[in-house]
Amino acid sequence: MPIINSTEFGSITIDNIKYSQVLILENRVIERDYNKLKELFGTSHKIGDWEFNELIGGKPEVILIGTGEQGMLVVEDKVIHAIRDMGVEFIIEKTPIAINIYNERVRSGKKINALIHTTC
């Protein structure tokens, strides 16, 4: 599983590689499609249906969402309810807190999928 080295406004460093905003799906790190999010929602502060489908795929033990430096990413009720209904550990936190939790769960051997928003 990847380890998150650090985050700052607009970027995240994972295994010493810098990204903008990411989905972490077990051992894969994928940049979020900012242009698609902007086109559909006018912002990257929402979770696309395709991102939700990726997050719940692969039978994770933990799903974690980092909501940005100031917590501005909107996690809709339908996403919250669907993930909670799965019976997995579900964590929503501002990104600086979320990355610490992510790394703790990885170190404890948990299978984790995450969406990390790095701006607002």
What is the tens place of the pLDDT at every residue in 8-62? 999 999 999 999 999 999 999 999 999 999 999 999 999 999 999 999 999 999 9
Provide the whole-model pTM: 0.96
Query: How many C-alpha atoms does 110 have within 13 Å on its Cβ side?
Result: 20
Q: Which residue carries 């501002």 as its tokens?
A: 94
pLDDT for 88 equals: 96
- Average pLDDT over the chain reads 97
- Domains contained in the chain, number: 1
Q: Which residues contact 74 (CB under 8 A, 6 or more apart)?
A: 45, 46, 47
In which domain, by residue range, is 38 found?
4-117
- CATH code of the domain in which 28 resides: 3.40.1230.10
Return the number of other C-beta atoms located less than 10 Å from residue 4's C-beta. 23
> What residues pair up with 91 in beta bridges, in sequence order?
64
User: Are the beta carbons of 57 and 88 closer than 8 angstroms?
Assistant: no
